Every structure is written in C-alpha cells, then in structure tokens.
Amino acid sequence: MQQFNAITIWLTISVMFITTFSVVAQTTSSKNDNPLVSEVRLPLDSGDVNLGELLGQLFDWLDIQSQMVRRRCADMKIPVTGPIGELKLETLGELTDGVVSFETTDALLVMRVDRLAMRQKNKQIRHEFREKMENWFPDLASQAYAQNGLWSLRPEGVLAPLPNEFQMDRVVILVHGLDEPGDIWDELIPALQQAGHTVLVFVYPNDQPITDSADLFAGHLAKLPTTGIKSMSLVAHSMGGLVSREVLTNTKYTGYPQANRLITVGTPHHGSPLAHFQFVGEIRDQIVRAFSGDGLLFGAVFDGAGEAKIDLLPNSEFLTTLNARPNPQGLTITCIIGNASPVDMNEVRDFETKCADLLNGGQNDQKFSKAIEQLTNGIGDGCVSMASAHLEGVSDEVVVQANHRSMLRTIPVISTTKQPPSIPIILDRLKDQLPQVKQD
C-alpha cells in the first residue's frame, strides 16, 4: 500500500483550511478570516428561512445527527425578520449562551458559531437546545430523535424500519463509533450487500454512558428473533466495539440471536489518553488533519462528549469492568488495528508548539505530549494506539497501514482506486456467515 506522510497532509490541508475556511449551506458560502469561527449564510424568502436548514445547521454544530430534521422540515419556513423573527433569533442566541450569533439582511440569514466555545460548552448547550426543541417542535423532535435504534437498509442504502420477517436467518450488524457523522459505512455496506449479506445498522446517541448505548442496543437485538433472525455477526468501528462487547459479555442481556463473530475496527479496548483533552478545540481539527485529512474522527473525545468521554479514559471504571469479563464462548473475535504512516516526533513537537496557547501550559502540555507520542512513530491510527486496540485472548489480529477512518473510508486527498484495507478483511472473515435462505 502506498505510504504517505501524515504531517505533510496536515500541513497542506491546514494551510488551505486557515486561509480559505468556509462553510457551505445549500447555494451560499461565506469566507471567514477567523478559523475558529464558522459562518453559514441561508437565503431568505420574504423574510422567511427554511426551517430544516436552520435547525439542521444548529444540529450539525451540536454534533446531533441532522438528517431527519432536515428531511422533515424541508418544506417548512419561519420568519426571522421583524419583531417576531428577531425574538426567535434572540432566544436561540441566548439558548446557545452566545456561542451562536445571527445577523439578517434583506436576502440572507447569517449564522456564526465560535467553534472553540461551542466545544467547551457543548454538553450544556446541547442539553438545553434539545429541551427547547422538544418544547417548540414536539413532533419534529420525537421524529428526529427516533432515528436511534436498529435499522434495515433499502437497496439505495437509505435507513428503513426493520421488516416483520426476514428471508434470511443471519445478518451482519454495523455499530458506529463516537462522533460519527454517518458516512463511515458508505463503502462497506455495498461491499457486504454485493457479497450476499443482509446488513443492519445500529444508530445511538454519542453523549451518553456506553452502558446506556448497550441497553439501547440489547433492547433492539432482543426483537430480532421474532423476525426469524437466528444468528448474527457484528462489525464495530471505534467505540462501537465497546458497545458491542458490553452487550455480548454482560449476562444481564439475553434474548438476542446467537452472536457468531465480532469484528472490531480501531476499537480502544483499553481507552484513549486523548479523552483527557475535552478542552481542546482547534487542536482537535488539526490533529484530525494531521492523521487523516478526512473529516472528524474521534472528535467528541476532545469536546467532552458527556459520560462517553469518561468511559473512554484508560483504566476507567467502565473499561476495568468490561475487560475483567471473559470473551463469550462460541464468539469468534477479530481485531483490525490501524498503523498510520510514521510521523517524525520533531514535527509533532513543532505542531505542539504552534498549539501551545490552547493547552494552558504545565501538566496539560505534558499529558498532551505523552498522548500524542503514543499515537506516532507508527504505533497507532492517529486516535487509538495499537496497544489499546489489542484485546486479550484474541489471536486473530490484523494490522493495516491506515488511520482511524481510512481503515474503512477512502481519504479524498489520496488518489487511489483501492478499497479501504479493512473491507477485504471483513469480507473474508464473514464469508462463512453468509445468510441462509429460508426454505418454504
């Protein structure tokens, strides 16, 4: 596989990012001189704005999945000019503690967010925002949050409710990780379907204890036997592997189909030291680009992602309890581990110096340096060290030359026609788990 220097990618992208940063909303974009402030311009129609785009953008900034609210509100408009509109915008500004600000012209609603402040106050703002949305739009809120759960897939890849009965008795269930925008499976799903697998997708909130996510997952899995599903395999990315292991190893969960295989991809079985850095804002973006060049990965760890962040700390109570349990009998486990291209520590030190003003100095500097050192020089995927991705008692471990997301997703800045390296491994390990067609 072609090797590439992650720092070179970071330098290229970060220069482009700082000098030309813009956020696109539908047909209008805005250039912003401050890289810590995102700006979106939404067109107005006689003083009204599209409600789906307004709420969808706020959801995106709060790391709340926005597809449902965008779709449900796509044809709805609300006034944002005049006394009533100004009152609504003022309320939204207060609701976000001033982190999001609004400005209107005759033709545009300009929305700005201080991304560093948003990450520092993310959990508080998210909680208050959700409460307000539920009061203002109870039907829409319930529809938006109802996207959590276990979903089937239509041929075009769109999430759909589970059928009452499956024609196959085995399925492959995909479990995403922390702060996942939803596209991590875009290349794996069609590959699995083409191979003949029946694919289900589990969606869950990011800002809650992992045990709460496991409760939700187990509840949905327990419904599968009524549809004819007798056995299943799980493919889990990042924190999704911990959610899956919690369900499969905790004896309080029963009633779900026989689990034949679990494949974890970049799962921090022993936590991530980066979970200490909930105060890191802009540094998160730069680290992402240093090791990936593609979107946000493991981002909510840096933002203080509620209780999930606490669970992901090395030696946390959750991880200590989980790792003390034996692996289930009859379950074959594969761990796919990312080994990003080697990064020279001198370049990392230079990177830390550039970001020092956000680290507050002292012990934070030392912790950050130690955490980054564990993820460089070819011993991690940019978010999870190889040691953490190792699971005791598992002999089937595969190391791939990729970072946390490129294990499953093609990086746009790298020209290649090859599949992400984890996909052929997953297909190979699941080939004996192809669904069995029911006999009439």
Q: Which tokens hold the place of 358?
A: 């956000």
In the prediction, which pLDDT does 65 show?
60
Which amino acid, residue 438? K
Q: Which tokens hold the place of 161?
A: 């409710």
In DSSP terms, which residues pair with 223 in a beta bridge?
A: none
In the prediction, which pLDDT does 291 show?
41
In the prediction, which pLDDT does 249 show?
98
In the prediction, which pLDDT does 344 show?
55
In DSSP terms, which residues pair with 150 in a beta bridge?
A: 202
Distances 307 to 208, 212, 238, 275, 316 between C-alpha atoms, Å: 5, 10, 16, 11, 11
In the prediction, which pLDDT does 132 show?
74
Which amino acid, residue 34? N
In the prediction, which pLDDT does 396 show?
96
In the prediction, which pLDDT does 412 show?
59
Helix (H, G, I), strand (E, B) or coil at 320: helix
In the prediction, which pLDDT does 83 show?
80
Nearest-angstrom CA–CA distance, 138 and 317: 36
Please check whether residue 230 is in contact with residue 258, taking contact to mean a CB–CB distance below 8 angstroms: yes
Question: What is the mean pLDDT, run by run of 10 residues, along the chain of 440 residues?
Answer: 34 28 33 70 91 84 69 82 81 84 90 80 72 69 68 78 89 87 84 94 83 95 94 95 98 96 95 57 40 34 52 89 95 92 57 57 57 54 82 94 86 64 97 80
Please check whether residue 390 is in contact with residue 336, taking contact to mean a CB–CB distance below 8 angstroms: no
Helix (H, G, I), strand (E, B) or coil at 100: strand
Which amino acid, residue 372? I
- The pTM assigned to this predicted structure is 0.65
> What end-to-end distance do the CA atoms of the chain give, in Å?
47
Nearest-angstrom CA–CA distance, 399 and 421: 10
Nearest-angstrom CA–CA distance, 34 and 37: 6
Q: Which of 32, 8, 10, 37 is nearest to 20 (CA)?
A: 32
> 149-433: which CATH number, 3.40.50.1110, 3.40.50.1820, 3.40.50.300, 3.20.20.70?
3.40.50.1820
Q: Where in the chain is the domain with CATH 3.40.50.1820?
A: 149-433
